[in-house]
């Protein structure tokens, strides 16, 4: 609220429950912004922040869906007002059917709306969201009001984690580790990728996670060269590597781990060399994640470290580097994705990329080397909290 302009009001809507077909829907996933601001994990909730409201009770308002007998029978009870107060810390809780009247009265007091659009640098949304529909409707009903964007404020706030958030992410990481240790003795030639996925899923849910934080990648053999391979339907063969890019969620917070292991229990000499180089790049990259580091400079330095390793491996040579296009360095032939991204409520979390890195930002570190002609790729990934002191 302290970032908002004077006499302005911000609105945040829950996500839709998305249909699949017939009467089927995807499980509800709360919009991360309203969850971050309120702790409310229930559909059809609306949050209003209006720091200059004349009525002090209307400076923070939460609207929630009221339970009725039919809902109780089919879906169970929804939050009552006391529960919503306890979860959110917001004292003014109204049933959703009061929203239109209260919002209309508040609009006569404010000059500017803060709308919450998705401006993440990787967003690719083809569906009109509940938030989108609200913004269209609001602009139509109140054309004289100015509008601002909440997203830049949230990008900054959400990129720096509180100690409680770091604890949630750590728990998600601990659950992921349990899943990884579970499958280590399970993997052998002949096992299927989906069987390994099932073992992870079992361990995650057993440990109070809702499951995977993102679609898991269980990629054996040549599939390990496909960056977003999610079919997970091939049999693991003797001599294959198995690339596992998986992470448990916990309390809506994500973990993100990648490990690459030999299906037969031992890497070949060449696979081991590639693994050792990826591990070295990961460890060196991690050292660069310090307060004040700049995003572009960090990735450039990691590229130079990777270039050195690829030369040692004789996958590229100094002539390749000398003649490289600066926009597409030689190392990109074998390492074509970024090294890090923000991690938090979203696996690819909020964070302004022109901001210097700060303490309590959480990043992944995930270099890889992919060699399609050898039918394998190796990636390693850890989750790292930036701290003032190591």
> What is the predicted pLDDT for the residue at 218?
98
Sign of torsion over alpha carbons 272, 378, 230, 32:
positive
Burial of 123 per CB tally in 10 Å (0-12, 13-18, 19+)? exposed
Cα–Cα distances (Å) from 243 to 18, 262, 385, in that order, read: 31, 9, 24
DSSP 102-168: HHHHHHTT-SEEEE-----TT----S--HHHHHHHHHHHH-TTSEEEESHHHHHHHHHS--HHHHHH
Long-range contacts of 285-288 (CB under 8 A, 24+ apart): 285/339, 285/340, 285/365, 285/367, 286/365, 286/382, 286/384
> What is the predicted pLDDT for the residue at 56?
97
β-strand partners of 206: none
Give 98-125 pLDDT, tens digit per residue.
Answer: 999 999 999 999 999 999 999 888 888 8
DSSP 298-313: HHHHHHHHHHHHHHHT
DSSP 245-288: EE-BEETTEE--EEEEEETTSS--HHHHHHHHHHHHHHHHHHHH
Give 355-378 pLDDT, tens digit per residue.
Answer: 999 999 999 999 999 999 999 999
Give 76-96 pLDDT, tens digit per residue.
Answer: 999 999 999 999 999 999 999
Taking domain 8-159, whether its CATH number is 3.40.350.10 is answered by yes
Q: How far apart are CA 130 and CA 45, in angstroms?
A: 11
What string of H, E and C letters represents the secondary structure of 317-351? CHHHHHCCECCECHHHHCCCCCCCCECCCCCCCCC
Phi/psi at 59 (5° precision):
-80, -25
Reduce the DSSP state of residue 202 to 3 states and report it: helix
List CB contacts of 256: < 8 A, sequence separation 6 or more. 213, 214, 245, 247, 343, 347, 364, 366, 381, 383
Q: How far apart are CA 63 and CA 88, in angstroms?
A: 12
| CATH node for 163-385 | 3.90.230.10
> What is the predicted pLDDT for the residue at 359?
97
> What is the predicted pLDDT for the residue at 126?
84
> What is the predicted pLDDT for the residue at 121?
85
Q: How far apart are CA 23 and CA 12, in angstroms?
A: 27
Q: Where do you find CATH 3.90.230.10 in the chain?
A: 163-385
Give 234-248 pLDDT, tens digit per residue.
Answer: 999 999 999 999 999
Nearest CA-CA partner of 40 in 50, 53, 28: 28
Q: How far apart are CA 164 and CA 210, in angstroms?
A: 19
Q: How far apart are CA 322 and CA 311, in angstroms?
A: 12
User: What's the pLDDT band for 196 if we cut at 50, 70, 90?
Assistant: very high
202: pLDDT strictly greater than 70 = yes
Q: Where do you find CATH 3.40.350.10 in the chain?
A: 8-159
Give 295-351 pLDDT, tens digit per residue.
Answer: 999 999 999 999 999 999 999 999 999 999 988 999 999 999 999 999 999 999 999
Average pLDDT, the chain: 97
Give 227-286 pLDDT, tens digit per residue.
Answer: 999 999 999 999 999 999 999 999 999 999 999 999 999 999 999 999 999 999 999 999
Q: How far apart are CA 15 and CA 131, in angstroms?
A: 7
> What is the predicted pLDDT for the residue at 390?
64
User: What's the pLDDT band for 224 if we cut at 50, 70, 90?
Assistant: very high
DSSP 216-237: -EEEEGGGGG-TT-----SB--
Angle at 171 between CA 284 and CA 191, to 5 degrees: 80
Reduce the DSSP state of residue 77 to 3 states and report it: coil
């Amino acid at each position: 609220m302290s970032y908002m302009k004077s006499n302005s009001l911000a609105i945040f809507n829950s996500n839709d429950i998305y249909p699949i077909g017939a009467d089927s829907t995807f499980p509800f996933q709360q919009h991360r912004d309203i969850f971050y601001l309120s702790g409310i994990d229930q559909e059809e909730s609306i949050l209003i922040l209006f720091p200059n409201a004349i009525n002090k009770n209307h400076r923070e308002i939460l609207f929630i869906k009221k339970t009725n007998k039919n809902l109780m029978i089919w879906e169970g009870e929804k939050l009552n007002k006391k529960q919503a107060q306890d979860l959110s810390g917001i004292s003014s809780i109204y049933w959703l059917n009061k929203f239109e009247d209260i919002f209309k009265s508040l609009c006569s007091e404010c000059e500017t709306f803060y709308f919450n659009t998705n401006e993440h640098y990787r967003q690719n949304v083809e569906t009109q969201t509940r938030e989108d529909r609200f913004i269209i409707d609001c602009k139509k009903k109140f054309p004289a009001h100015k509008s601002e964007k909440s997203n830049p404020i949230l990008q900054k706030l959400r990129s720096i984690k509180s100690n409680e958030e770091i604890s949630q992410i750590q728990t998600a990481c601990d659950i992921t580790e349990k899943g990884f240790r579970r499958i280590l003795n399970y993997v052998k030639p002949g096992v299927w990728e989906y069987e390994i996925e099932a073992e992870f899923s079992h361990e995650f849910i057993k440990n109070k996670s809702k499951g995977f934080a993102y679609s898991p990648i269980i990629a054996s053999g040549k599939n390990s060269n496909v960056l977003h391979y999610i079919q997970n339907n091939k049999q693991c063969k003797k001599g294959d590597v198995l690339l596992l890019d998986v992470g448990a969620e916990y309390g809506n917070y994500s973990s993100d781990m990648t490990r690459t292991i030999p299906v037969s229990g031992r890497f070949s000499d060449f696979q081991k060399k590639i693994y050792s180089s990826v591990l070295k790049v990961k460890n060196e990259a991690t050292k660069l994640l310090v307060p004040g580091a700049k995003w572009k400079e960090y990735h450039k330095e990691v590229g130079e470290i990777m270039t050195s390793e690829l030369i040692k491996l004789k996958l590229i040579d100094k002539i390749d580097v000398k003649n490289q296009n600066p926009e597409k360095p030689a190392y990109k032939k074998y390492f074509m994705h970024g090294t890090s991204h923000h991690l938090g409520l979203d696996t690819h979390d909020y964070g302004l990329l022109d901001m210097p890195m700060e303490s309590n930002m959480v990043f992944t570190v995930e270099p890889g080397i992919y060699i399609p002609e050898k039918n394998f790729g190796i990636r390693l990934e850890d989750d790292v909290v930036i701290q003032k002191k190591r």
